[in-house]
Chain A
Amino acid sequence: MTSPDISIPSLILCFLLLVIPLAISYRIKLQISRTTIDSVSRMTVQLGMVGVFLTYVFDLNNGVLNLAWVMGMVTIASYTTIRNVELKMNKLLLPVILSFMAANLSVLLYFNEFVLDLGNLLEARYLIPIGGMILGNSLRGNIVGMGEFYEDIRRNENRYLYSLSLGASRYEALIPYIRKCLRSALRPTLANIATAGVVFLPGMMTGQILGGTSPILAIKYQISIMVALYVSTAMSTSFSIFSTIQTTFDEYGLVKKEIYREKGKRKGTRK
């Protein structure tokens, strides 16, 4: 039992569906046509290359190479997070990469060792796709969490400064913002978990079933992966927030204005 092949003409028929969002975008001036085309082309090229590359990586199945592949994914995920939250790279990239590595790699390796009980922890067929899923989910959580945290601090600066003026330490003044953004970051994953199976069949399970695995086994995989996704997202988002705080605030406890990328007008920095 294997999935039917998707031929190139069929793929083109699939792309044809994109006319719908593009038409909507054009009609109500959503201004996402360019981004849509960019994103879809990027995805196609990236996945095309990954398809070719993964064939080699799976054949070689060299532990070090597999791990390097995952590290590469970590770096790209961190970079994408920061880009998406309108922040500048230089002060943030390193703490975010380290947070992603610490959180996601530990969950990934734990999962491979104790849940899947793999003989080879770094087996390409598991390490790379599961790593990708964990990272993808963390990425989404981090974009929401970090984005909201830094936006909130900027928008409600007076509130934060007032807390400092009342004698709060930086941590005491930030904790309401941290709570709020972590809740927002985890809410989508929690909603996904709670509705799994009822509203939608999760992607991995669908893939396994299409690939011929029995539904029961597919479900067991799905349950464990969802737990792993939640844990790694919670960990990586908390780590990212707590570690970037170390580099994004000055000695006075104020957020450094230069970490924000120019988006709209800001008051000139007062020096």
Chain B
Amino acid sequence: MQDEIIRYENAGIHFGSKKVLSNFSLCIPKGKKILMKGKSGTGKSTLFKILLGFEQLSEGSVYYRGVPLSPRVAWQIRKDVAYVSQDTDLGEGPVRDLLEEVRSYRPNREKIAPEKLHILMQELELEKDILEKDFENLSGGEKQRIGILIALLLERDIFLLDEATSALDAGLKKKVAEHFLKHSHWTLFVISHDREWEKDGVEIVTIGSNGSD
């Protein structure tokens, strides 16, 4: 139990009067790889947002390292966890400046080393000149890769990946999934419809098929 990272206990999510999820329980120990699947509108993304303190559970509870979620815990999670959302929105301006902004946040100082940046950019098939381009003019796939790039640069070891590879081509999907899966001590909590994540050692959790209406 000591290396338990995330645990949902009888979690329920209502949007207004509509119950989208109920009685959801899941325990994610350190190093575990979870792939969460289910139709859209079943509250998968919301489960991530709850951990980050962006949404509240309607019922049940969430624990992080055994401690029930509170504002203090949520602020800690934001420092410990790398989150890639469905649509990475970094803001306006050149990618380089935006990365610098991310780097200026207190927990990220000393992170985002230039050598590492170049290696990862190559791996993600990002051209060097992308750093000078305005983020808002990038394609969906490029934005997504920037999101993955940042998540990897922060040197965190718990990942919440919400459809992080949906806009990539098949070759790159495979490469990204393999990159994440090869680190045995990384804890992965992934929402994806991509087959590339369905590998040995990945536990598939399907939600939305039971419980709720």
Contact = CB atoms under 8 A, between A and B. Distances in A.
Contacts of A166: 78, 83, 102, 105, 108, 150, 154
Given A167-B79, A167-B108, A270 B56 contact: yes
B198 interface: no
Interface stretch (B24-32, B85-93, B184-192): B85-93
Interface centre among A156, A158, A166, A268 (most CB of B within 10 A): A166
Contact of A270 (B15, B85, B91): B15
A270 B85 CA distance: 19
Nearest to A267: B15
B203 to A, nearest CB: 24
Contacts of A163: 102, 105
B91 A165 contact: no
A252 B53 contact: yes
A71 to B, nearest CB: 37
Contacts of B74: 252
Looking at chain A's contact residues, the main secondary structure is loop
A251 interface: yes
A251 B53 CA distance: 10
B102 A158 contact: no
A162 B15 contact: no
Given A159-B89, A270-B15, A252 B54 contact: yes
Contact of B90 (A159, A251, A254): A159
A271 B102 CA distance: 30
Contacts of B16: 268, 270
A250 B55 CA distance: 12
Interface string A171-203: 010001000000000000000000000000000
A254 B105 contact: no
A271 B107 contact: no
A168 B105 contact: yes
A166 B108 CA distance: 8
A253 interface: yes
Contacts of A250: 71
* A-B CB proximity, top 7 nearest: A251-B71, A167-B107, A252-B53, A165-B83, A168-B105, A159-B89, A268-B16
Given A176-B91, A270-B16, 13 more contacts: A161-B49, A162-B83, A163-B105, A164-B54, A165-B52, A165-B78, A167-B108, A167-B154, A168-B78, A169-B106, A254-B54, A268-B15, A271-B14
25 contacts: A159-B89, A161-B49, A162-B83, A163-B102, A164-B52, A164-B78, A165-B52, A165-B54, A165-B81, A165-B83, A166-B108, A166-B150, A166-B154, A167-B79, A167-B105, A167-B107, A167-B154, A168-B105, A176-B91, A252-B54, A252-B71, A252-B75, A254-B54, A271-B56, A271-B58
